Amino acid sequence: MFSEKQERIVSVNGSITEILYALQLQESIVAVDSTSTYPKMASTLPNVGYQRTLTTEGILNFKPSMVIGLETAGPKQTIQNLKDARIPVYLLEDDYNVTTPIKRVLEVGKLLQKQKEATILAKQIEKEIQALQIKKTNVKVLFLYSRNPSSIFISGRDTAAHAMIELSGAKNAVTEFSDYKPLTNEALVKANPDIILMPEKSAEGFGGVNAIWQMNGIEFTRAGKEKNIVLVDDLLLLGFGPRLPQVLKTLNEKWKQIE
């Protein structure tokens, strides 16, 4: 265990960064990854790049006393290099359950000797989850992810996007495969989604909402005909952080509106 004064934390995941701030540990953070966009002040901290493409030197430059993120952080060689350099690396499980934020808060709190604050925050999240009144719908949602118009991906099972769609009361329009796959015109028409779901930055990278309606085959889907789309902040949508109940409620209300 470490005392707060001794810490020089590099956080390599946005939801972990959000939790660190919520536990009043921001003074110990010396750098964050590019997914650390909340709270807004986190974006002003030095950045070590994307959590899956970290570099050893980029992190060691900040002389961290610990690196904390999720088990999907990488590449593996960078993580091993950090361990070889005797930097404590703590990578939490990257799961997608409604209780995930509670578990992460308690784990971070225990790791950084903030158990009391973590317990209070965890109970608050649990209360918000229990207050949720998610209505199951038959709305088919297609999650799209892209950073440029030349490549766009859809989410199958066992993804954060799939879990968000299901937990918020809708149905994933594509369940024939797991993980993410490139979108094809045929897959789009076959999925026939009622609504498109995208992270905000992804939509920007694709060229905006109007560009989405120009995709081949979109005009044959209900989403395309009715111009149904929901854009959500990237971290809020896929982070499974403390604001999970908030986004689940928002999405469920969207689904009910178009059912």
Strands 89-92 and 140-148: unpaired
Cβ burial 78-108 (10 Å sphere, 16+ → b, else e):
bbebbeeeebebbbbebebebebbbebbbbb
- Between helix 244-258 and helix 160-167 the angle, nearest 10°, is 60
Strand partners, 181: 154
Give kind and range of the element (H or E) at residue 10.
Answer: strand 9-11
Positive/negative CA dihedral, 17, 19, 22, 25: negative
> In the beta sheet, which residues pair with residue 231?
198
Q: What is the pLDDT of residues 19-43, one digit of tens each?
A: 999 999 999 999 999 999 999 999 9
- Sole residue written with tokens 């993120």: 69
Distance CA 7, CA 185 (A): 50
Place of tokens 């499980």: 93
pLDDT value for 195 = 98
Show the low-confidence residues of the chain (pLDDT under 50): 1-4
pLDDT of residue 5: 57
> How are beta strands 89-92 and 180-182 bridged, if at all?
unpaired
pLDDT score at 4: 47
